């Protein structure tokens, strides 16, 4: 076992030569640069997404204002439509009520007109019978 430990130690020391150390540090440096480039790319993508998100939020605000304006127009239209419908029903009910109230007067007028026509017909009949 002691021989294995010594051989492993010799292999490690052989791997730690200046050339190996330089090569490993260069590869680590490349990895760090690559990771840094990836981080920068990721930051740029996030920044781009944030810009897009802000633009979409502003567009959403504009559309919301437009919808609110349209909704206000519709509310005013519906309010006036209800008022006009109420006035129409009020006029109709008023006509019906006045019709019932004046029914006696109309009935008396029609009865008087019928009696007048009947009287004239009777006069004509009497004149014809007398001839």
User: Is the model's pLDDT at 16 over the cut of 70?
Assistant: no
**Could you tell me how many residues make up the chain?**
131
| HEC profile of the chain | CHHHHHHHHHHHHHHCCHHHHHHHHHHHHHHHHHHHHHHHHHHHHHHHHHHHHHHHHHHHHHHHHHHHHHHHHHHHHHHHHHHHHHHHHHHHHHHHHHHHHCHHHHHHHHHHHHHHHHHHHHHHHHHHHHC
| Integer Cα distance of 22 and 29 in angstroms | 10
pLDDT for the residue numbered 13: 47
- In angstroms and rounded to an integer, the radius of gyration of the C-alpha atoms of the chain is 53
The string of pLDDT tens digits covering residues 41-73 is 888 888 888 888 999 999 999 999 999 999 999
pLDDT tens-place string over residues 75-112: 999 999 999 999 999 999 999 888 888 777 878 888 88
Q: Which two tokens stand for residue 40?
A: 């920068």
Q: What pLDDT, on a 0 to 100 scale, did the predictor assign at position 31?
A: 73
Could you give the 3-state DSSP secondary structure of residue 17?
coil
Percent of the chain with pLDDT over 70: 83
Model pLDDT, residue 27: 73
Q: Has residue 6 got a pLDDT over 60?
A: no
Is pLDDT of 2 > 70?
no
Going by pLDDT thresholds of 50, 70 and 90, the confidence category of residue 19 is low
**pLDDT for 8 beyond 70:** no
pLDDT at residue 84, rounded to an integer? 97
With tokens 């109230």, the residue in question is: 101
Output the CA torsion 64→66→69→74 (10° steps): -100
Residue 10 binned pLDDT confidence (cut-offs 50, 70, 90): very low
């Amino acid at each position: 076992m002691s021989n294995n430990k010594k051989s492993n130690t010799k292999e490690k020391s052989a791997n730690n030569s200046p050339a190996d150390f330089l090569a490993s540090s260069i590869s680590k440096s490349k990895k760090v640069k690559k990771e840094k480039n990836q981080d920068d790319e990721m930051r740029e993508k996030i920044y781009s997404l944030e810009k897009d998100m802000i633009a979409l939020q502003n567009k959403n605000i504009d559309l919301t204002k437009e919808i609110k304006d349209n909704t206000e127009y519709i509310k005013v239209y519906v309010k006036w439509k209800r008022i006009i419908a109420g006035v129409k029903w009020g006029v109709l009910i008023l006509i019906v009520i006045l019709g019932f109230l004046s029914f006696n007067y109309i009935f008396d007028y029609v009865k008087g007109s019928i009696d007048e026509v009947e009287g004239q017909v009777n006069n004509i009949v009497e004149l014809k019978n007398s001839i």
